[in-house]
Amino acid sequence: MTSSKKRPVLVLSNDDYNSKTEDIIVAAITSNLTSKDYSIFITNSDLLKGNLKVDSCIRVDKIYTLAQNIVIKKFGEVNDDIMNEVKNKINELIK
C-alpha cells in the first residue's frame, strides 16, 4: 500500500486539451521559497480566485502530466500577469 501527499499544481493545458484527454499538464507549486532560475514567486495578491495557505513558488521546470481523476479540487486561479510570466519562463527553458 502506498500513500501520496496532496500537492498543489498550476494547470498549464488548455480546456480543449483537457476535454479531449483524461490527463492534464501541470507545473508544480511549492512552499519552498528558495530562489531558482525557473521559479515564480506567488502570493494571494496574484490570485484572481482562491487563497494560498502560504506564499509559494511555481516551478516552471517541474512540468508533468497527471490523470484528471486524481485531482481533488480547484483551489484558485492565478492572474494573467502570472500566467504570462509562466509562459515566458517555459519559452526560456526550451530555447
Asked whether the whole model's pTM tops 0.95, one would answer: no
55-79 tens-digit pLDDT: 999 999 999 999 999 999 998 999 9
Q: Residue 37 belongs to a domain with what CATH number? A: 2.30.30.110
**Which residues, including other chains, have CB under 8 Å from residue 59's CB and lie 6 or more apart?**
27, 28, 29, 30, 36, 38, 39
Q: What is the pLDDT of residues 11-55, one digit of tens each?
A: 999 999 999 999 999 999 999 998 889 999 999 999 999 999 999
pLDDT of residue 34: 86
In a domain, 3, yes or no: no
SS3 category, 19: helix
How many distinct structural domains can be found in the chain? 1
Buried b (16+ CB within 10 A) or exposed e, 83-94: bebbeebbeeee
Could you tell me if residue 1 is inside a domain? Answer: no
**How many CB atoms are located within 10 Å of the residue 3 CB?**
4
pLDDT band at 1 (very low <50, low <70, confident <90, very high): low
